[in-house]
């Protein structure tokens, strides 16, 4: 069931309570014999921003194109506002209540900003069109630029026009494909914030493709990690970063080092000593691997240690130290910007107290001890 929220001309068409704005159910698409998206189940609710991230060629754009109606699924369904738009039936892109924002903005060069934004509003009575255009341009902070042509705008302004154009018809869902990647780093942060504000203001559901881990972690209410066309994990940014379900997700979402480790009666130890206790792992004896992120690794100069600083990377606010352990394994450690241990320095390495490192058996993260490991 779709309904329009009362009390706000800028509001998107939202869906009834409990109905996802966008649902992909078993969505599958191959190009020839090459599977691009394999049985993806993903739901986005009204007002929610979900980012899709994964390595190049993993199927991110194909997933978005399936939702938009620019590709037909080989099997599975796409639903918008609870209505099937692909699967047992086919609804073309322009009738899906879906807005799209592309990486290159895709504005019409011969139309001014106002006409670009008005482009998808032909079903609206003429008298209401100008008001709606003014409203969404105001929403993205460009109320004063309606008369300009795209070539007279900065990259960030063009991106905001593209967003205004996508939001103007009050879509149920907005799909954004790498929307900030053509902007330089400073502008990207600013336009990202403005985009999020506009999306939250309208209450649209949004699915955003990005290849930037930091962006995925900071932008989305949830993020979906894709690899080889398969969804590997869906969760809030902190769930995915702090409790990755696999080695792939752990390493893809940020710096991660893996060390052989052992759990004995809920005590986790590895080459650098005691890592932590592991609640619920009493009466367990098991070889595992522990994942350590650089913010969990502490260093202290110790002339007697056989662990040596190998390389130091200055990042401004923080300095990343690469340490070669006595065994030959390496770990990384973030230090404050004024701490730089020169290569060759002997250091004691430990785990920052309070850390809850992730344990792995093979490529899968362990959330509980396997039954076979119980003594």
Ligand X SMILES: Nc1ncnc2c1ncn2[C@@H]1O[C@H](COP(=O)(O)OP(=O)(O)OP(=O)(O)O)[C@@H](O)[C@H]1O
Encode 299-361 in three state secondary structure.
Answer: EEECCCCCCEEEEEEECCCEEEEEEECCCCCEEEEEEECCCCCCCCCEEEEEECCCCCCEEEE
Tokens read off for 43: 């739901």
Of 205, 118, 134, which Cα lies nearest the Cα of 169? 118
Question: Cβ of residue 27: shortest distance to ligand X, in angstroms?
Answer: 12
Question: Cβ of residue 330: shortest distance to ligand X, in angstroms?
Answer: 28
Nearer to ligand X, 12 or 217 (CB): 217
Nearer to ligand X, 103 or 269 (CB): 103
The residues facing 42 across adjacent strands are 24
Residue with tokens 């905001």: 160
User: Nearest-5° angle of CA 91, CA 97, CA 102?
Assistant: 100
Nearer to ligand X, 36 or 360 (CB): 36
Whole-angstrom distance, CA of residue 89 vs CA of residue 60:
23
Contact between 162 and 130 (Cβ < 8 Å): no
Tokens read off for 268: 């986790």
Of 228, 180, 198, which Cα lies nearest the Cα of 51? 180
8 CB-near residues (< 8 Å, 6+ apart): none
Nearer to ligand X, 57 or 260 (CB): 57
Question: Cβ of residue 89: shortest distance to ligand X, in angstroms?
Answer: 23
Contact between 164 and 156 (Cβ < 8 Å): no
Nearer to ligand X, 46 or 50 (CB): 50
Whole-angstrom distance, CA of residue 178 vs CA of residue 121:
25
| The total number of residues written for the chain in this structure | 375
Question: Cβ of residue 75: shortest distance to ligand X, in angstroms?
Answer: 16
Question: Cβ of residue 108: shortest distance to ligand X, in angstroms?
Answer: 24
Within 10 angstroms of residue 228's Cβ, the number of other Cβ atoms is 15
Question: Cβ of residue 323: shortest distance to ligand X, in angstroms?
Answer: 32
The binding site for ligand X (CB under 6 A) comprises: 31, 34, 36, 54, 56-62, 211
Nearer to ligand X, 36 or 323 (CB): 36
Nearer to ligand X, 210 or 245 (CB): 210
Nearer to ligand X, 59 or 294 (CB): 59
Q: What is the DSSP letter of 5?
A: P
Question: Cβ of residue 244: shortest distance to ligand X, in angstroms?
Answer: 19
Identify each DSSP E strand in 92-221 by its residue range.
Answer: 98-101, 173-177, 205-209
Q: Which helix (H) or strand (E) holds 199?
A: helix 185-202
Question: Cβ of residue 98: shortest distance to ligand X, in angstroms?
Answer: 17
């Amino acid at each position: 069931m779709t309904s329009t929220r009362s009390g706000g001309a800028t509001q998107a068409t939202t869906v009834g309570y409990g109905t996802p704005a966008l649902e992909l159910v078993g969505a599958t698409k191959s190009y020839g014999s090459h599977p691009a998206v394999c049985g993806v189940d993903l739901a986005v609710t009204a007002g929610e921003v979900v980012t899709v991230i994964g390595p190049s060629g993993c199927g991110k754009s194909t997933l978005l194109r399936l939702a938009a109606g620019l590709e037909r699924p080989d099997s599975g369904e796409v639903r918008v506002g609870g209505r099937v738009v692909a699967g047992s039936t086919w609804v073309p892109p322009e009738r899906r209540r879906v807005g799209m924002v592309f990486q290159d903005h895709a504005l019409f060069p011969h139309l001014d900003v106002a006409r670009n934004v008005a482009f998808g509003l032909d079903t609206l009575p003429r008298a209401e069109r100008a008001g709606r255009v003014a409203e969404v341009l105001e929403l993205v902070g460009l109320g004063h630029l309606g008369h300009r042509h795209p070539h007279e705008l900065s990259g960030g302004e063009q991106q905001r026009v593209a967003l205004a154009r996508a939001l103007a018809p009050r879509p149920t869902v907005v799909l954004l494909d790498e929307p900030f990647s053509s902007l330089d780093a400073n502008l990207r942060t600013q336009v990202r914030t403005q985009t999020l504000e506009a999306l939250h203001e309208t209450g649209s559901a949004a699915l955003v493709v990005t290849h930037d881990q930091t962006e995925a972690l900071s932008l989305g209410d949830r993020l979906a990690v894709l690899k080889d066309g398969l969804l590997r994990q869906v969760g809030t940014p902190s769930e995915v970063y702090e409790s990755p379900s696999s080695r792939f997700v752990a390493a893809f979402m940020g710096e991660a080092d893996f060390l052989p480790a052992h759990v004995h009666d809920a005590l986790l130890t590895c080459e650098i000593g005691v890592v932590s206790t592991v609640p619920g792992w009493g009466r367990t004896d098991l070889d595992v691997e522990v994942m350590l992120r650089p913010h969990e690794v502490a260093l202290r100069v110790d002339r007697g240690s056989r662990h040596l600083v190998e390389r130091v990377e200055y990042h401004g606010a923080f300095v990343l130290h690469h340490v070669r352990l006595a065994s030959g394994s390496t770990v990384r450690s973030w230090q404050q910007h004024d701490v730089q241990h020169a290569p060759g320095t002997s250091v004691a390495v430990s785990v920052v107290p309070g850390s809850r490192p992730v344990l792995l058996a093979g490529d899968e993260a362990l959330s509980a001890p396997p039954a076979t490991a119980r003594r």
